[in-house]
Amino acid sequence: MLSIFNDKMSCLYKKMLDITSMRQNIISNNIANVNTPNFKRSDVDFQAQLKNAISQDEPSVISDIEPVKIMTDNTPVRLDGNNVDLNSELSIIAKNSVMYKMYIQFTKGRFDKLREAMKSPN
């Protein structure tokens, strides 16, 4: 039996908050290592798992999504072997921050609706 806090959308919003938080940490690490010789940037891969989970009706499938930290580019961009492009990372982290705020608003809206439904006399 599903509770009102364990339905498909609640699980999806929670997982997306977890993933965007994890991605923020990884991108921050990339930025922190922009001048570290031979450092290779990392990112989070979860899109394929997410598409598969959303297509199913089981909230537990969404809860089982585990983002994978992956090396996205092993080709050195600079002579020191580091492949972090600061402008690109700053753009990614800004977009990720917007996504996180969006998921917070979705979650807040969902709980606002539940709160209103509980107040309703009918």
> What's the Cα-to-Cα distance from 74 to each of 41, 46, 70, 84, 105, rounded to whole Å?
8, 19, 11, 10, 36
pLDDT in tens, 8-36: 777 788 888 888 898 899 999 999 999 99
Q: pTM score > 0.85 for this model? A: no
Burial of residue 68, with CB atoms counted within 10 A of its CB: 0-12 exposed, 13-18 middle, 19 or more buried: exposed
Other CB atoms within 10 A of residue 71 CB: 10
Three-class secondary structure of residue 85 per DSSP: coil
pLDDT band per the 50, 70, 90 thresholds, residue 2: very low
Rounded Cα gap, residues 74 and 91, in angstroms: 20
